[in-house]
């Protein structure tokens, strides 16, 4: 089964190319997916799917088998098997990136490429066995489109958070706790510093020095927190940990049920008409 989808990300194509080929960076944005290990262009993981009351966990491997940075085209192959033996899934995904130009902005991006957007075309060759295969091509294509939409939204949110953090870096030697509105902690007195070091305060010690002239105080300052420490957790908040297939299908399921009901009623009506026609012929005979 072949499916085509499109989404966009709020960064330039060169940066989007690096992000979308970084498995550890994008895995938290993919609904139902979790990453187990990464080895170069190969990685292992699992995807949790729920079809009605039935839960499936596909464990498998994926590999980037082709990448062309000049045309921003990459091909990924993945395969997995449900842990309970309820089916398999295999996919070949071709991803092509192209600049969409400025517009829309990123809500905080600065510098070169701010406001740029990149369109991503995804061509998927999918082979599924087991319960998901019973849903039919149209329904699976609809669900896949909604999953990609959730992924794109979570990724865009993560990128905006990262750009917002890089646009407002913390001053050197400070961390988030020091930038709070609470009262500043008092500087240690010479006696306290000596006690902490296991010695006594030297006689005639003067008032404590300021952090600018006190090497001990400067080295005791907490380390600066990384600007991108939270994006993965934030992305996971926007991407569900299990793909609810029927929930994503929504109206598609209703349309399929309605079509099936119409077909059943039409068949029943035709059957009744045939019975009535035969009965009328017998009476005339």
pLDDT > 90: what percent of the chain?
A: 31
Q: Across the strands, what pairs with 161?
A: none
Residue 276 lies in a domain: yes
Which domain covers residue 269, as residue numbers?
251-285
For residue 214, how many other CB atoms are within 10 A of its CB? Answer: 15
pLDDT of residue 107: 39
The predicted-structure confidence for 134-153, as pLDDT tens digits, reads as follows 877 778 888 888 888 889 99
The region of weakest confidence among 38-52, 185-199, 269-283 is: 185-199
Residue 212 lies in a domain: no
For range 20-49, the mean pLDDT:
92
pLDDT of residue 210: 44
Same domain, 7 and 30: yes
For range 224-245, the mean pLDDT:
51
Same domain, 274 and 243: no
Residue 182 lies in a domain: no
CATH number, residue 150:
3.30.530.20
Same domain, 10 and 120: yes
Same domain, 264 and 236: no
Residue 103 lies in a domain: yes
Residue 211 lies in a domain: no
pLDDT of residue 283: 77
pLDDT of residue 61 exceeding 90, the answer is yes
Residue 176 lies in a domain: no
Residue 187 lies in a domain: no
Angle (CA) 119 123 126, round 5°: 145
**What string of DSSP letters covers 36-92?**
EEEETTEEEEEEEEEETTEEEEEEEEEEEEEEETTTTEEEEEEEEEETTSS-EEEEE
Q: Report the domain count for the chain.
A: 2
pLDDT of residue 234 exceeding 60, the answer is no
For range 248-262, the mean pLDDT:
52
Same domain, 25 and 120: yes
The predicted-structure confidence for 22-32, as pLDDT tens digits, reads as follows 999 999 898 88
Same domain, 117 and 243: yes
pLDDT of residue 113: 52
Angle (CA) 176 177 183, round 5°: 135
Residue 107 lies in a domain: yes
pLDDT of residue 225 exceeding 50, the answer is no
């Amino acid at each position: 089964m072949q499916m085509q989808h499109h989404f966009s990300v709020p960064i330039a194509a060169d940066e989007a190319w690096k992000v979308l080929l970084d498995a550890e960076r994008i895995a938290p944005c993919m609904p139902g997916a979790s990453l187990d290990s990464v080895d170069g262009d190969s990685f292992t993981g699992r995807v949790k799917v729920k079809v009605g009351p039935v839960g499936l966990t596909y464990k498998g491997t994926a590999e980037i088998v082709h990448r062309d940075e000049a045309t921003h085209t990459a091909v990924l192959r993945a395969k997995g098997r449900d842990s309970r033996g309820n089916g398999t899934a295999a996919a070949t995904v071709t991803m092509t990136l192209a600049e969409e130009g400025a517009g829309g902005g990123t809500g905080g991006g600065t510098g070169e490429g701010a406001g740029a957007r990149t369109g991503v075309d995804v061509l998927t060759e999918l082979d599924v066995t087991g319960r998901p295969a019973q849903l039919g091509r149209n329904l699976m294509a609809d669900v896949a489109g909604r999953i990609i939409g959730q992924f794109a939204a979570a990724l865009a949110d993560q990128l905006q958070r990262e750009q917002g953090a890089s646009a407002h870096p913390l001053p050197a030697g400070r961390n988030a706790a020091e930038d709070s509105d609470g009262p500043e902690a008092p500087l240690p007195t010479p006696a306290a510093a000596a006690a902490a070091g296991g010695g006594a305060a030297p006689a005639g010690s003067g008032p404590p020095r300021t952090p600018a002239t006190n090497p001990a105080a400067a080295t005791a300052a907490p380390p600066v927190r990384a600007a991108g420490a939270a994006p993965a957790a934030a992305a996971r908040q926007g991407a569900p940990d299990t793909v609810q297939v029927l929930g994503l299908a929504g109206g598609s399921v209703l349309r399929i049920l309605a079509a099936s009901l119409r077909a059943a009623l039409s068949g029943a009506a035709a059957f009744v008409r045939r019975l009535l026609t035969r009965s009328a012929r017998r009476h005339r005979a």
